[in-house]
Amino acid sequence: MKKRIVITGIGVVSPIGTGNNEFTESLRNGKSGISAIEHFDVSNFSSKISGYIKDFKPENFIDRKKTKRMARFTQLGMAAAKIAIEDSGLDFSKEDMSRIGVVTGTGMGGLDVIEEEEKTLLEKGAKRVSPFLIPMIITNMLPGEIAIQYGFTGPNYAVTSACASANHAMGDALRILRFGDADIIVSGGAEGVITPLGLAGFCNMKAVSQRNDEPQKASRPFDKNRDGFVMGEGAGIIIFETLEHALNRGAKIYAELAGYGASDDAYHMTAPDPKGAAAILAMEKAIADAGISKEEVDYINAHGTSTGLNDKTETAAIKKVFGERAYKIPISSTKSMTGHLLGAAAGVELAAVVLSMNAGFIHPTINYETPDPECDLDYVPNIARDAQINCALSNSLGFGGHNATTIVKKYVE
């Protein structure tokens, strides 16, 4: 018998809201968090829009002195972790801290710090480069900082697998808890790389939307006129516990993390395998791991990036897994509102699934205006739908062909 693993705390920092209540209401209202980039000059960039969190103040969550020694992804992740831990109601005076671990995902780490310190190196010389450069940019610094802040001495590391990072991290959390190496794992993802270098790289790949005159309509997953994803940033951190531990402390339980599956396309650096074989495999593995039938899945949170290749490939993969029933399963893309949060995406998206599940609705895929014959499923277009979701599947499909799928169920005693 596999140990049952449940979700007892959620923390979100996103382009459509910081904190669970604001984020949930934005999901319900189909709010877009995409706007023109103002924090650096984008006059020479083909894409001039993003899901940058303009009102984020790290000092509201972290000691001001410490924020100066953190890259933006760490600041965002620390803020989301604080929200999640407070939401969980954990009393650490009653916990064995060696039984609490942290596993988080990020795709690119401290790119903002790399750019700043490279400029310093070129303009002022090597001796002026910050001694904190290395610990600020490495991807494992977020779980390290969370452990330092709270005193967690259990398993602690980072996962980096592009856009699938957070789903892989949460899948690892599931397995660590099942195996008995911890009672609690703080997991999810964070990303903060809306910088000149990051944007230039995606622009020159021709991966991002150039709908600069209509920022809020630029991210349009599954729409025929989609022209690329929109860079976003943020963090989604979730508290996972063994059911036994959660019940013993009288925790509120949001949902059960029931299954996880992972695979790789082994096809191309950035393009998905058009056959979707490995994406299919990840979903099949997650369903088998959860010990459920395909008929039990009644909602899918799609990777849904708003790129031509991803959306039609993911649609085809869903059809292959669920057959004719695929047409009856509501599907939505959180990225239509937040943009693509890269390594943080799956953490924020699983939070979206669980929060909307508990609030009794399915959030929409906004900006769905012109149907695409190759994307012909029920994408919950534009308006939220009241619904009771009992079992949801969440996909992440990353550069390098990395695929990861998680499954959450409504908690039943």
163 is annotated as an active-site residue: yes
In a domain, 398, yes or no: yes
402 is annotated as an active-site residue: no
User: Is the CB of residue 343 less than 8 Å from the CB of residue 388?
Assistant: no
Q: What is the pLDDT of residue 247?
A: 98
SS3 219: coil
User: What does the pLDDT average to over 12-19?
Assistant: 98
Are residue 236 and residue 201 in the same domain, yes or no? yes
81-to-55, 141, 183 alpha-carbon distances in Å: 18, 13, 17
**Cβ atoms < 10 Å from Cβ of 92:** 12
Are residue 31 and residue 176 in the same domain, yes or no? yes
Helix pair 345-359, 20-29: axis angle to 10 deg = 80
Instruction: Band the pLDDT of 150: cuts 50, 70, 90.
Output: very high
Are residue 244 and residue 290 in the same domain, yes or no? no
In a domain, 255, yes or no: no
What is the C-alpha separation between 68 and 352, in angstroms, rounded?
A: 30
CATH of residue 176's domain is: 3.40.47.10
Catalytic residue among 168, 245, 303, 402: 303
SS3 10: strand
What is the C-alpha separation between 365 and 383, in angstroms, rounded?
A: 8
What is the C-alpha separation between 197 and 147, in angstroms, rounded?
A: 30
In a domain, 412, yes or no: no
User: What does the pLDDT average to over 346-366?
Assistant: 98
340 is annotated as an active-site residue: yes
Strands (E), 243-349: 255-264, 299-301, 331-332
Q: What is the pLDDT of residue 272?
A: 84
In a domain, 256, yes or no: no
What is the C-alpha separation between 313 and 377, in angstroms, rounded?
A: 13
Catalytic residue among 168, 203, 245, 340: 340
What is the C-alpha separation between 125 and 185, in angstroms, rounded?
A: 42
Are residue 34 and residue 156 in the same domain, yes or no? yes
Cα three-residue angle 43-44-46, rounded to 5 degrees? 100
Pick from 403, 407, 2: nearest CA to 168: 403
Q: Does pLDDT of 271 surpass 90?
A: no
pLDDT in tens, 219-235: 999 999 999 999 999 99
pTM: 0.96
Residue type, 7: I
What is the C-alpha separation between 3 and 243, in angstroms, rounded?
A: 8
> What's the structural domain count of the chain?
2
Q: Does pLDDT of 292 surpass 90?
A: yes
Q: What is the pLDDT of residue 269?
A: 87
In a domain, 180, yes or no: yes
138: left (phi over 0), alpha (psi -120 to 50) or beta: beta
Q: What is the pLDDT of residue 113?
A: 98
Q: What is the pLDDT of residue 140?
A: 97
Sign of the C-alpha dihedral computed for residues 108, 110, 112 and 114 taken in this order = negative
Q: Which domain holds residue 383?
A: 261-405
Are residue 141 and residue 98 in the same domain, yes or no? yes
Instruction: Band the pLDDT of 112: cuts 50, 70, 90.
Output: very high
Return the residue matching tokens 């593995």.
285
Compute φ and ψ for 167, nearest 5 degrees: -65, -40
Q: Does pLDDT of 367 surpass 90?
A: yes
